[in-house]
Amino acid sequence: MNILIKRDVCVGCGMCAGICPEVFIMDIGGKSCVMELSESEVELCEEKIRECADICPVGAIVI
Ligand code: SF4
């Protein structure tokens, strides 16, 4: 699974980092970014990652 954050679109609401902190982290600029994870680590969080993509208010998470 590839995860892309459209950083020019992210409004920094923090919902993704709140739901799935194993994958998403807020950077010092207040935008979400994706942690460096192995494919197996990503697979463990797949359901939450899909939830984050669904609830992002601006559709900034692309999987
Ligand atoms: S949910 Fe979307 S807008 Fe909010 S921090 Fe995450 S990527 Fe950015």
pTM score over 0.85? yes
Burial 11-31 (b: 16+ CB within 10 A, else e): eebebbbebbeebbebeeeeb
20 lines ligand 1 (CB under 6 A): no
49 lines ligand 1 (CB under 6 A): no
User: Could you tell me the pLDDT band of residue 9, with boundaries at 50, 70 and 90?
Assistant: very high
User: pLDDT tens digits for 20-61?
Assistant: 999 999 999 999 999 999 999 999 999 999 999 999 999 999
Total domains in the fold of the chain: 1
- CA proximity to 20, closest of 43, 8, 11: 43
> What's the CATH number where 35 sits?
3.30.70.20
The pLDDT, as a whole number, for residue 18 is 97
* 10 CA from centroid of ligand 1 (Å): 5
The pLDDT, as a whole number, for residue 34 is 96
User: Could you tell me the pLDDT band of residue 13, with boundaries at 50, 70 and 90?
Assistant: very high
Domain of residue 9 covers 4-62
